[in-house]
Amino acid sequence: MLARAILRCIGLVNLVVFGVFTLLTFLVAMPLQALASPWDPDRRVSARAASAVWGVGMFRAQPFWRLTITGAETMGPGPWIVIANHQSMLDIPLLLQLPVPVRVVARPGVFRMPVFGQMARFGKHVRLDADNVEEGLAQCRHLLTQGISIVLFPEGQRGDGTVLGSFHRGAFELALRTGAPLLPVAISGTALALPKGSAWARVPIARFHLQILPPLPLDGRSRRRLAADAHTILATALAGPRPWSLTHAVAERYRPAGRFRMGFAAGKVRFDPIFWHLWERLPRTGRLLDVGAGEGLLGIFLREAGSQLVVRGVDIDEARIAAAKVAAGSDPALTFEVLDGEDAPFSQADVVTCIDVLHYLTPDRQDRLLARLCAAVAPGGTLYVRDPEVGQGLASWWTATSERIFVALGRHRGGGVHVRGGAVLAEVVGRHLSDVRLVRAGTGPFANVLLEARRPVAEVAHAAVLADGAPANG
């Protein structure tokens, strides 16, 4: 009885905050839009207000809600056709937090609802009526041409959060007609906070995960093929690990290494997007070489997430490698060694990573290490290098400055900080590997770039990397 009473109280708090912020959205958005109407026919101002108040503000104000967003750092400006699973009314304000302007496609019944129907009409969201599909598609096409992304729920209705329903054709027909790329987004946890058909929470503290997944290109695929691939992508993401459980699991691996190592691991996994970014993109099996592994956080994270990659991590810092070994325990898939990546011999691996290392080296040493990293990539394998980015204003300045502070404090080894930016690194890597591309990999006040490059499967590789850094295709 006590537990049920507590749940009822939590549900009441959730409803009150939800109602207050819904009303506040009206009070903020309508006057602003009235002022902006002469030059804002697509109502971008009111959309921004709704995103700030009903999206970000409401979720932060809820005392019993916790939200983690992953993948936003690599999301381009769009416009996108966003496809998401649907399990609660909370999905809509949650999706308003996407870092691009969006409009939601909804059934006519939504526009007839009290309050929410008025919000949908005022915000110029898209009404898709089965009797007049072409009109809705025309509105979607117009919004896409204006740089505004479209959100669709291909299931067509809310589910219970346990099973991903079959997909309707609308989103994929729209993608084929407009050529706009599809962006899958997986939503977890909202069904427990505001379930379908109920106003009461199922859990005391709801934890939400908005997982922005890699874009799904059209690539000449049919509508049925796109729908099947999108369903597989979302189902796989929803069945995968959740950020809050992973943060705890990784931190626990470092408990024997002391409170500082444990706290550092929890904070790094919680706030640095690189771990989720790589988890979503790396193969689940094969060999991974992590140069500059530090405390071995990437390898530990991947193992706790369910990866079967065999990880070899190397670093010149004895204390950090000692902590990595403690966290690895007797796991045979995790090996950490004190080695200098600039001259130690490497066997080739399916994935080679070098995260936040290069800028501690002078430019000529960076070039030599990059050549060695490229040579360590096996045929068909991939290289990932993250480093600070240039040209991002205050974020670039703060990123480089914070690294200089860490060097001065002795946290990182190095004779200085030499940031050259993604374009320069891509030019160097392009001499050795193909399909080089850059994606944003920073968060908050930091400006980082992640370089990804591949070695063709047909290319003949060397059995090992030479100590002088000779490239495998040289």
| 415 plus 448 within the same structural domain | yes
Whether residue 471 lies inside any domain: the answer is no
* Residue with tokens 């072409």, as numbered in its chain: 134
Domain that holds residue 254: 244-454
Last residue of a domain, one of 187, 219, 240: 240
Domain annotation covers residue 461: no
Pair 142, 34 in one domain:
yes
Of 240, 275, 306, the one marking the end of a domain is: 240
Number of domains in the chain: 2
> Do 254 and 226 belong together in one domain?
no
Q: Does 161 share its domain with 252?
A: no
Residue 361 domain-assigned (yes or no): yes
Q: Tell me, yes or no, whether 349 and 309 share the same domain.
A: yes
Same domain? For 220 and 326 the reply is no
Read off the pTM. Answer: 0.80
Q: Looking at the structure, tell me whether residues 208 and 63 fall in a common domain.
A: yes
Left if phi > 0, otherwise alpha if psi is -120 to 50, otherwise beta: which for 45?
alpha
Query: Could you tell me if residue 269 is inside a domain?
Result: yes
Query: Are both 99 and 197 inside the same structural domain?
Result: yes
Residue 462 maps to a domain? no
Shared domain for 64 and 191, answered yes or no, is yes
Residues 6+ apart with CB under 8 A from 81: 144, 149, 150, 152, 171, 174, 175, 178, 180, 181, 182, 183
Tell me: do 422 and 294 sit in the same domain.
yes
Q: Is residue 459 part of a domain?
A: no
CATH, residue 10: 3.40.1130
Q: Is residue 473 part of a domain?
A: no
Domain CATH for 398: 3.40.50.150
- Whether residues 224 and 263 share a domain: the answer is no
Asked, for residue 467, whether it belongs to a domain, the answer is no
Among 186, 213, 240, residue at a domain's last position:
240
Do 236 and 250 lie in one domain? The reply is no
Q: What is the 3-state secondary structure (H, E, C) of the chain?
A: CHHHHHHHHHHHHHHHHHHHHHHHHHHHHHHHHHHHHHHCCCCHHHHHHHHHHHHHHHHHHCCCEEEEEECHHHCCCCCCEEEECCCCCCHHHHHCCCCCCEEEEECHHHHCCCCHHHHHHHCCCEECCCCCHHHHHHHHHHHHHCCCEEEECCCCCCCCCCCCCCCCCHHHHHHHHHCCCEEEEEEECHHHHCCCCCCCCCCCCEEEEEEECCCECCCCCCHHHHHHHHHHHHHHHHHCCCHHHHHHHHHHHCHHHCHHHHHHHHHHHHHCCHHHHHHHHCCCCCEEEEECCCCCHHHHHHHHHCCCCEEEEEECCHHHHHHHHHHHCCCCCEEEEECCCCCCCCECEEEEEEECCHHHCCHHHHHHHHHHHHHCEEEEEEEEEEEECCCCCHHHHHHHHHHHHHHHCCCCCCCCCCCCCHHHHHHHHCCCCEEEEEEECCCCCCCEEEEEEECCCCCCCCCECCCCCCCCCC
Instruction: From first to last of the 474 residues of the chain, give the pLDDT tens digit.
Output: 676 777 677 777 878 888 888 888 888 888 888 788 788 888 888 888 888 998 899 988 888 888 889 888 778 787 999 999 998 888 999 999 998 889 998 887 778 887 777 778 777 888 877 677 788 888 888 899 999 999 999 988 887 777 888 898 888 988 998 889 999 999 998 888 777 766 666 666 788 999 999 899 888 889 999 999 999 999 999 988 988 889 999 999 999 999 999 999 999 998 888 999 899 889 999 999 999 999 999 999 999 999 999 999 999 999 999 999 999 999 999 999 999 988 888 899 999 999 999 999 999 999 999 999 999 999 999 999 999 999 888 989 888 888 888 777 766 666 688 999 999 999 999 999 989 999 888 777 888 999 999 999 876 544 444 444 444 443
